[in-house]
Amino acid sequence: MPPVRIRERGRAKKGTMKRLLKQLFKLYPWHLVLVLVCLVFNVFGNISSSIFVSLTTNALVASGEMTYAGTPVNPFVDTYDVVSTFGFTMHTNITSLLIILGCIYFVGIFASWGWNRTMAIVTQSFMNDFRKRMFDHMQDLPIKYFDTHAHGSIMSLYTNDIDTIRQFISQALPSLIQTGLVSIFVFFIMLSTSVWMTLVIVVGFFIMMGVVKGVGGKSSKYFIKQQAALGKVEGDIEESIQGLKVIKVFTHEEKSCEEFDKLNDELRHYATNANIHGNIMMPVMGNIGNFLYILCGIMGALIFAFGWKNLSLSGYAPITNLDQFAGMIALFLMMSRMFANNVNQFSQQLIFIVMGMAGASRCLDLMDEKPETDDGYVYLCNVKYNEDGTFEETEEHTRDYAWKHQHKNGELEYKPLKGDIVLDQVDFSYDGNRLVLEDVSIYAHPGQKIAFVGATGAGKTTITNLINRFYDIADGKIRYDGININKIKKADLRKSLGIVLQDVNLFTGTVMDNIRYGRLDATDEECIKAAKIANAHDFITRLPEGYNTMLSGDGANLSQGQRQLLSIARAAVADAPVMILDEATSSIDTRTEKLVQQGTDQLMEGRTVFVIAHRLSTVQNSNAIMVLDHGHIIERGTHDDLIAQKGVYYNLYTGAFELE
Ligand SMILES: Nc1ncnc2c1ncn2[C@@H]1O[C@H](COP(=O)(O)OP(=O)(O)OP(=O)(O)O)[C@@H](O)[C@H]1O
Ligand SMILES: [Mg+2]
């Protein structure tokens, strides 16, 4: 099945913003209330400072005409009546007004610092929590999810998409709230001052919104395409690094560069367009703002020149004095500037809202994926045998295990783990259509070594994937010591299996860390013992820093065979009662393989082992050999039985033919 990309990088699903905000409010309600309060103060500060500037203007204009008992009044010291544009009168002087103005600015700065700081904390904490939840959820997803989704796309959720959410929360969201608040405040203040001039601003607002929709919409479209192109470029780089050797071997450097150039050009095309449209927005909006400013000025001049009526909500009121009028013009000019600046700022954030929602939508898609179901109620536990043959549960690592049934009535029932595994008429399909295994029955008794042989793609690995429940079977039964494996907790089932997977994966860390991965509480001595069983001890001691040598890049500094030996050591340290070795020795020379085989045979004495091997010499001493062909078991028996049968195995063994 070809990998599918995570949801096409298009627009967000409906309701994404609501979900995101709900999560945000649920996690940080008090922080957000604080942000909101600070924003209200900030906007209030901005607006009231404009009002006080207008009052100060009025005061200054009025001061020129004022005399008291023949001597001019000192407007900085003496108090007098200052009429505001809104009709209220303040008995004050210029000094007091300036002090109030200073205080308002201070509150504004403090509020601004407050919400920025709180928002930075909220954003980073939310992102931290979001990444954690996403990663935790990803760990619980069935293997099928990873089979059907390109790994590069999953990775970019944690980088690109998360970053768009960060931008949305830290910048766009506060800007959205601020613009809303400013618009409401400004609108009512303007309306209570002059309906005509308000009308000018409202018309300007709709023009601005039209531009935001037109230009902003276009630029958003290109920004989303830019994100998609960026994802493709990242995917290509990742693939090129992974396949570096293949590219060199086939001398495809030029072709690889060509492909990269194509993707890179595509990215440039979308990014250029996105930025061209995005960059137009700022000057266009700025100029509309300037235009509004001029319009307000002209309107004011007209009102003054023609003695127009100052139309307010309370009715007609002729302009009676210049001081009130000048203040009104000053206020209006400031309001229109503030209004335009805000809408402009918001238009810059629009893109982050669109992108943030698209990114959040994809991340939430991953979170909505159904996790692996685990209805198991049978647990694995270590037990200690008493002298009289009875046993009891223990915390320490013994080599004896039992299944612990947790019955509904709270009763506990223990059943010793023996390692008896039965597959009973199992059918399985990866995609729900084509059967990969059909009517497969296998009986592995405690202590037996069962081998699977067969051509590539016959279904050997698939059988082991079913025993450890990477996938669930379509039909039939798998029983472990008589218990249906669906009833066993998945983690406990897997803990009871020491698995060497066909693909070796090593993690960044020392050699010792990588061996200890098999059982985290294993001591250094136990790890070294396991390395000896896997015959890895010799090569490890020859490494520059022995067991402390750092491995990086999936163990790129080791040979293929050495990597396999480490993965065997990792399974050996787990010391599980059942072992599954999938092509564990395919890259190891025959002499080392013999030694490994002796080691594991010794380790697994009395325990059940499943081995998959292409080299038939490895499986000769098995208790039963299953020959698989196209998902069917076509022959089974011991090596001698199968040779005597003179069937497929015999022919394989004698080299008469190869399985197709
Ligand atoms: N994750 C998967 N999704 C879909 N089909 C798969 C998947 N893994 C394997 N298959 C298919 O299932 C069949 C059996 O694959 P399997 O890996 O079990 O083969 P195998 O016997 O282990 O082969 P090999 O010897 O090469 O390891 C193959 O036809 C393969 O195409
Ligand atoms: Mg395989």
What percent of the chain has a predicted confidence (pLDDT) above 90?
38
Q: Which atom of ligand 1 is nearest to the CA of 463?
A: 18
Alpha carbons 101 and 67: distance in angstroms, whole number: 26
Question: Does the pLDDT at position 534 exceed 80?
Answer: yes
Ligand 2 is an ion; its neighbours by CB within 5 Å are: 461, 502
The DSSP element (H or E) to which 283 belongs, if any, is: helix 253-305
| Per-residue pLDDT, 316 | 40
pLDDT at 528: 95
Q: What's the CA gap between 131 and 360, in Å, rounded?
A: 12
| Residue identifier of the C-alpha nearest atom 18 of ligand 1 | 459
Q: Please name the residue whose Cα sits nearest to atom 17 of ligand 1.
A: 461
pLDDT tens sequence across 581-611: 988 888 888 888 888 888 788 778 778 999 9
Give 461-490 pLDDT, tens digit per residue.
Answer: 999 999 999 999 989 999 999 999 999 999
Distance (angstroms) between ligand 2 centre and the Cα of 653 equals 20
**Residue 652, pLDDT above cutoff 60:** yes
Place of tokens 């059918």: 427
Please name the residues in contact with 197: beta carbons below 8 A apart, sequence gap of 6 or more.
Answer: 190, 296, 299, 300, 332
- Rounded mean pLDDT of 316-331? 60
pLDDT in tens, 78-105: 777 777 766 667 788 888 888 998 999 9
Domain residue spans of the chain: 16-368, 378-416, 421-653
Residue 452: phi, psi to the nearest 5? Answer: -115, 130
Number of H helices, E strands in the chain: 21, 22
Helix residue ranges per DSSP H, 306-394: 322-368
Average pLDDT, the chain: 85
Can you list the pairs that 427-436 forms with residues at least 24 positions away whose Cβ atoms lie under 8 Å?
427/473, 427/474, 427/475, 427/476, 428/462, 428/466, 428/471, 428/473, 428/474, 429/474, 430/1, 430/144, 430/147, 430/462, 430/471, 431/1, 435/474, 435/631, 436/462, 436/631
Rounded to the nearest 10 degrees, the angle between the axes of helix 173-193 and helix 29-63 is 30
For ligand 1, the distance from its centroid to the CA atom of residue 573, given in whole angstroms, is 28
Ligand 1 centroid to 631 CA: how many Å? 10
- Fold category of 16-368 in CATH: ABC transporter transmembrane region fold (1.20.1560)
* Banded pLDDT at 5 (limits 50, 70, 90): very low
Which protein residue has the closest C-alpha to ligand 1 atom 25?
A: 456
* Choice from 462, 499, 614 to test ligand 1 binding pocket (greatest atom count within 8 A of CB): 462
Q: Whose CA is nearest to atom 26 of ligand 1?
A: 456
The pLDDT value recorded for residue 425 is 93
Which of 533-537, 627-631, 637-641, 656-660 is predicted least confidently? 656-660
* Nearest ligand (C-alpha, residue 429): 1
Please write the tens of the pLDDT for every residue from 421-465. 999 999 999 988 899 999 999 999 998 999 999 888 999 999 999
Q: Kindly tell me if the per-residue pLDDT of 6 is higher than 80.
A: no
Strands (E), 511-583: 550-551, 578-582
Q: 454 C-alpha vs ligand 2 centroid, how far in Å?
A: 10
pLDDT tier for residue 37 given thresholds of 50, 70 and 90: very high
Does 412 score more than 90 pLDDT?
no
**pLDDT over 60 at 318, yes or no:** no
Q: State yes or no: pLDDT of 10 exceeds 60.
A: no
Q: Please say if the pLDDT value at position 327 is more than 70.
A: no
Ligand 1 atom closest to Cα of residue 457: 19
pLDDT tens, position by position, 336-380: 788 888 888 888 788 888 888 888 988 999 999 999 888 889 999
pLDDT score of 209: 83
pLDDT tens track for 39-91 = 999 988 888 887 788 778 777 777 766 665 566 667 777 777 777 766 667 78
Q: Cα 63–52–296 angle (5° rounding)?
A: 95
In this predicted model, what pLDDT tens digit does every residue of 164-188 receive, in sequence order? 999 999 989 998 888 888 888 888 8
State the pLDDT at residue 102.
92
Q: What are 179-223's pLDDT values in tens digits?
A: 888 888 888 877 877 777 788 888 888 888 888 888 878 888 888
Q: Could you give the CA distance from residue 88 to residue 85 in angstroms, rounded to a whole number?
A: 7
Q: Does domain 421-653 have CATH number 3.40.50.300?
A: yes
Ligand nearest 460 Cα, by number?
1
Q: What is the pLDDT of residue 148?
A: 84
CA 462–ligand 1 middle distance (angstroms): 6
Residues 397-413, mean pLDDT to the nearest whole number: 87
Q: Given the structure tokens 């163990």, which residue do they identify?
A: 555
Ligand that comes closest to the CA of residue 629: 1
Question: How many residues appear in the chain?
Answer: 660
CATH topology of 16-368 equal to that of 421-653?
A: no
Q: Note the pLDDT of residue 584.
A: 80
Give residues (CB < 6 A) around ligand 1.
1, 147, 430, 436, 454, 456-462, 502
| Segment 283-310 mean pLDDT | 76
pLDDT at 272 over 90: yes
Quick count: other Cβ atoms within 10 Å of Cβ 598? 12
Pocket test for ligand 1, best of 434, 436, 632 (most atoms within 8 A of CB): 436
Q: What is the rounded distance in angstroms from the CA atom of residue 426 to the CA atom of residue 469?
A: 13
d(CA 161, CA 152): 12
